[in-house]
Amino acid sequence: MPTTYPKCQPSEMMGLLVLLNSHKGSEDVALLADDLDLEIDEILPALEFAEILQLVKVSEGRVTFTDLGKRLVAGTIHDRKTIIREQLRRTTLFRTLLRALEGSSDHSLTDEQLNRIASFTTAPADEAVQTIVNWGRYAELFRYDADERRLVAVRHPAGTKAAAGRPPPPGGSTAAGANDASGSRVPRAAPATTPTETRPALGVPVTA
């Protein structure tokens, strides 16, 4: 899987997936853009990110959910975050970052160390760091300590990984809410997540 990603926030991708779900899981990209009153190139970053995470497939201008994407939109907030967390872990960039966090004596990375890792991507440094922090926080892979200006690893109970491959339990509810980035003291990043929001650019109620 790739080393870097398009510039896209979690709420943008989730908003697009919610819309696709309302189209029964398969639709022309152009029609999705029309529904959002946007140009096609304005939704391409979110579409590409979803494809990178293997949540959708795009063929001949049509986007369709994969089985994993179907499980994600049908799941609870916990299910969704688990799926995205495990898909991020499979990418070169996040695998490298998480190994660095594990190898650190205090399981944290300074801004300088984070920027060094981001420099290996093809994206501009500021953009790469923002993407890393926003998605890592959303998926609860790590948190950002604004006072110490460092990333800190988040521990998950044993067996969490397996949840990504399981369908949600029967009757599981879909909780509304999304975690977005609109950063306070975090450099090029987002603050803590919020339960619900509407993505301004997409205009779609986001479900985390």
pLDDT per position as a tens digit, 83-140:
999 999 998 889 889 999 999 899 999 988 988 888 777 667 777 888 888 999 999 9
C-alpha neighbours within 13 Å on the C-beta side of residue 189: 27
Q: Nearest CA to 142 among 105, 199, 89, 183?
A: 89
For the sheet containing 26-28, what is the strand order? 26-28, 62-65, 56-59
Q: Whole-model pTM above 0.75?
A: no
Which pLDDT score, from 0 to 100, does residue 163 have? Answer: 42
Domains along the chain?
10-72 (1.10.10.10)
d(CA 58, CA 47): 9
Q: Give mean pLDDT, residues 31-39.
A: 94
Mean pLDDT for the chain overall: 78
